[in-house]
Structure 1
Amino acid sequence: IVCRTNINNKPYDDQKVRNALQLAVDNNVVLQLGYGNAGTVAENHHVCQIHPEYYELAKVARDPAKAKALLAEAGQADFEHELITVDEDWHKNTGDAIAAQMRDAGIKVKRTVLP
């Protein structure tokens, strides 16, 4: 399961914004709600454990207050993020789980579900 931002576009070119989104979401909850807890919890970097370039990073716990503070520091507290998925079981469920956690953290999210 992957949720990506395009770092070539504002505001995702700002590391604070990307970190805020990471802090707003608990990957374990995403796996549980989006994919029925089948699989391994994501670690928020570009490769998984079986990849030769994998390097274990420190775990980052969900911290909605810090997420909101980082967005404010970046001047993006009122920005509305669009989360787009297709309308298939785990794709939609995963997107919904991510969007719900972002909203719980006070982050504005527009959900778009494509047929």
Structure 2
Amino acid sequence: MSRLTLRLPESLHQQLSHQASQEGVSLNQYIVYALTKQVNQHYFVKPVLPEDMEKQQASFLSLLNNLGIAKSEDIQLALEEREIVAPEDELTPDIMAQFQKKIRANS
């Protein structure tokens, strides 16, 4: 576990102490809880409204229309110029095989 020294305005310190005592936990426990709650808010999947999906789809289709169709020579050149990197440790050979199977199935 890590240690962090933090300077707080006295009023905030008192507010946090009061809330911690209301919850029946230590000030440290309450601060960890509050920070965890704040950080985790950014990791939740939020639903996309149907009208936003329609806007995104229209924007995507417009982009596709503006891109045109690439020649096979251009595609081959882009593939040859790409940087090949090793997969992340979490991407095990089994997971990679599953991805490749799905890609082939959708091609």
Which interval holds the TM-score relative to the shorter structure? under 0.3
Bigger Rg, which one: 2
RCO higher in structure (CA 8 A, sep ≥6): 1
Higher strand proportion, which one? 1
TM-score (norm 1): 0.19
